[in-house]
Structures are given as structure tokens and as C-alpha cells.
């Protein structure tokens, strides 16, 4: 565990004016309970604030980058972005667990790697960043670490573009949809699949993914782009 928060600030390129806020974001209630004489505050209030900041920032991003996406679709996509599993992945990628201040009992029982704890710390950090530097800086942090994952299609597994395409095609009587695997590359343990969508034998989107399902979802998305239903971003990465 790091002795101070200088390495974290250096790795993020973010330097807090009020370092106490940063420390509080990484302070678990078990640590506060074991150090009562220090009059510390845990990160629970910052978690509450960070959750709201994160929801607003993600909502704003989706609203402005997906002008044709319906409310229900944005709600589902936002839920996938801010769910516990996603926040844990973010926290782990930034090594947040190394900086959490835990009580001895919580440390012994593996609290540092507990998903709920890591997700809470990520939200607490967002809350602390918002208080220290404002909403714009919190958004800049998300632009660097979270929003690119949306653009790269990391949340395709929870966003069903095939169903959306099927509903659109049926509604407008555009014909039959066929998905074809047109190429497979790489060794058996690390294959990459290329899928294409045909509507009435006309080729539309071609998607690339590490599974047939993922490549078809991306192909369906790109078809929706070609049909003018959705705005394009990079998915074949």
C-alpha cells in the first residue's frame, strides 16, 4: 500500500488543492473506526456525491453524442456504464485499491479487492474531484478514462443493436435481415470474427469482434448508422 497519495496524483496527472479530500475519498469506515483519535471522515458522503456527478456526466455525454438514441436506450446504456462491475473495472485499471485506507479487520478479510468497496472508492474519487476542481475537471477525467470505452464499444454486450435493427426494419417494412460471418482470423484461442448485415440481399454494416455475437452486434450498429438511426462512433477497435 502506498504511504501517501503523491504517486496516485502523478499517475493521473491530477493534483488536488485539498489533499484531505483525496485522502477522504480513499478512507473506508473501518479505518475511521480504528483511528477515532484522528477525527477522520470516511468516504461515504463523497460516494453519494460522486454517484450523482457520474450519472450527470454520463447522461450529458450520451445525450450529446447519440442524438438519435431514444430515452430508454440511453437509460440502459448509462446503467451499464455506471454499474458496479464497470466501476470496479475502472478502479482496478487505475490501481485505486492500492491506496484505500482500511481497518486491520477489513484488510485481513480481503476488503481491498472487494468489488463493492472498489466501486464505492471510484465514485468517492469522482465526488472529491468535483469538490476540489469542479464539474468540468471531473468530466475531463471521465473523457480520459471512461468515455473512450463507450466509443470503443466496450458496452456492446449489454446494448442490443440487433434487436433495435430488427424493430426498425420491421416497422419500416425494409425486408429480411441476414447476418453472415465473412471472415475469421487468428488462432483458435484468440479469434477475430468479421460479420456483415444484409437487408434484402444488400450489404450494410460490417462488424469486427472477438466473438460472433460481438461482431454481429457491431455490424447491426453500423447498419443503424447507415440507415440514419444512430450517430457513428468507432466500434471496430
pLDDT along the chain (237 residues), means of 10: 78 95 95 87 96 97 85 86 89 92 87 88 98 97 92 65 86 90 86 93 91 88 86 51
pLDDT of residue 42: 94
Per-domain boundaries in the chain: 6-151, 160-226
Active site residue 55: no
User: In CATH, what class is 160-226?
Assistant: alpha beta
Q: What's the CA gap between 1 and 53, in Å, rounded?
A: 28
Q: Which of 42, 47, 51, 106 is catalytic?
A: 51
pLDDT of residue 223: 93
pLDDT of residue 85: 83
pLDDT of residue 190: 78
For 132-178, the pLDDT digits (tens) are 999 999 999 999 999 988 877 677 555 578 888 888 898 888 899 99
Active site residue 123: yes
Q: Which of 42, 47, 106, 123 is catalytic?
A: 123
CB of 96 closer than 8 Å to CB of 125: yes
Q: Which fold has domain 6-151?
A: Ribonuclease iii, N-terminal Endonuclease Domain; Chain A (1.10.1520)
Round to the nearest angstrom and report the end-to-end CA distance of the chain. Answer: 34
CB of 205 closer than 8 Å to CB of 222: yes
CATH topology match: 6-151 vs 160-226: no
pTM, rounded to two decimals: 0.67
Amino acid at each position: 500500500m502506498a504511504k501517501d497519495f503523491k504517486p496516485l496524483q502523478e499517475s493521473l496527472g491530477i493534483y488536488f488543492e485539498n489533499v484531505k479530500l483525496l485522502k477522504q475519498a480513499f478512507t473506508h469506515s473501518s479505518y475511521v473506526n480504528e483511528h477515532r483519535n484522528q477525527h477522520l471522515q470516511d468516504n461515504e458522503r463523497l460516494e453519494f456525491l460522486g454517484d450523482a456527478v457520474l450519472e450527470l456526466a454520463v447522461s450529458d455525454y450520451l445525450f450529446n453524442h447519440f442524438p438519435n438514441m431514444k430515452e430508454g436506450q440511453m437509460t440502459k446504456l448509462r446503467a451499464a456504464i455506471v454499474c458496479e462491475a464497470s466501476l470496479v473495472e475502472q478502479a482496478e485499471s487505475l490501481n485505486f485499491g492500492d491506496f484505500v485506507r482500511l481497518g486491520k479487520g477489513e484488510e485481513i478479510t480481503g476488503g481491498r479487492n472487494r468489488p463493492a468497496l472498489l466501486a464505492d472508492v471510484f465514485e468517492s474519487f469522482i465526488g472529491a474531484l468535483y469538490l476540489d476542481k469542479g464539474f468540468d475537471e471531473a468530466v475531463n477525467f471521465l473523457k480520459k478514462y471512461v468515455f473512450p470505452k463507450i466509443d470503443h464499444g466496450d458496452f456492446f454486450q449489454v446494448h442490443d443493436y440487433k434487436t433495435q435493427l430488427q424493430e426498425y426494419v420491421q416497422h419500416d417494412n425494409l425486408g429480411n435481415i441476414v447476418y453472415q460471418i465473412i471472415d475469421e482470423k487468428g488462432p483458435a484461442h484468440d479469434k477475430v470474427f468479421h460479420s456483415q448485415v444484409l437487408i434484402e440481399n444488400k450489404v450494410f454494416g460490417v462488424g469486427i469482434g472477438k466473438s460472433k455475437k460481438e461482431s454481429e452486434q457491431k455490424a447491426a450498429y453500423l447498419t443503424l448508422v447507415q440507415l440514419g438511426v444512430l450517430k457513428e462512433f468507432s466500434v471496430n477497435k
